[in-house]
Amino acid sequence: MQTTNELTLDTLRRLALMQHLGEDFFILNGIAYIGEEEVAKESYEAAKEDFESFEHFCNSECEEVEELEEEDYTVDYIVLTDEEADDKWEESLDNYIEECIQPEIDKLSENAGNLSYYITFDEETWKRDARMDGRGHSLSTYDGNENEETIENTTFYIYRTN
C-alpha cells in the first residue's frame, strides 16, 4: 500500500470508515480507489494493450474513493481524530448538563424555597465521573463503543450513532 501523504483528512476519514466496515480499497500514487488492488491488477492484465500503465488503467476504470463530508457520515457514524473526539465529548457532556441536569436542578431549587442556596451542582466533578465510562458512552448512541482505525499514521475514532 502506498503512502497517503497526498490524501485529504476527509478522504482518510472515508478510508478509516471503509476499513472499519470491511470494505476494500487501495491507494496508488496518492489516489484511493474502491475495490481490491489484486482484482484491479487482474482486470488490467486482461486489458493491458488498451492502457499505458496500471495507473492509467486505474484512473480510467476504477472508482475513486470520495471524501467523507460530515453530512455523509453523521447519520450512522461519526469519524473523528483524537482531538476532535475530545472536543465532541466535551460538547456532549455540556449539552447533557444543559438539557437534562440543569432543568431538574432548577425545579428542585424552585421547590426548596429558602433552602435553595444549599442546592449546588459541581459540573467538573460530574464530568469527571461521566468520563469514567469513556468517550464511546457519550458519542456512540448506538452501542456505546469507541472503535479505532489507523490509516497510515493517522488514527481515527469511529462511533456508531444509528
List pLDDT tens digits, range 104-127. 888 887 877 777 667 778 899 999
pTM of the full structure: 0.81
Do residues 101 and 120 share a domain?
A: yes
- Residue pair 33/63 in contact (Cβ under 8 Å)? The answer is yes
Find, among 42, 63, 65, the residue nearest to 54 by Cα. 42
Question: At how many degrees (to 10) do helices 54-61 and 37-46 cross?
Answer: 100
Do residues 107 and 52 share a domain?
A: no
Do residues 140 and 90 share a domain?
A: yes
- Asked if residue 156 is part of any domain, the answer here is no
- Asked if residue 155 is part of any domain, the answer here is no
Q: How many domains does the chain have?
A: 2
Do residues 38 and 92 share a domain?
A: no
- Asked if residue 41 is part of any domain, the answer here is yes
- Residue pair 106/97 in contact (Cβ under 8 Å)? The answer is no
Domain that holds residue 25: 9-71
pLDDT, mean of residues 65-79 = 77
- Asked if residue 100 is part of any domain, the answer here is yes
Do residues 66 and 82 share a domain?
A: no
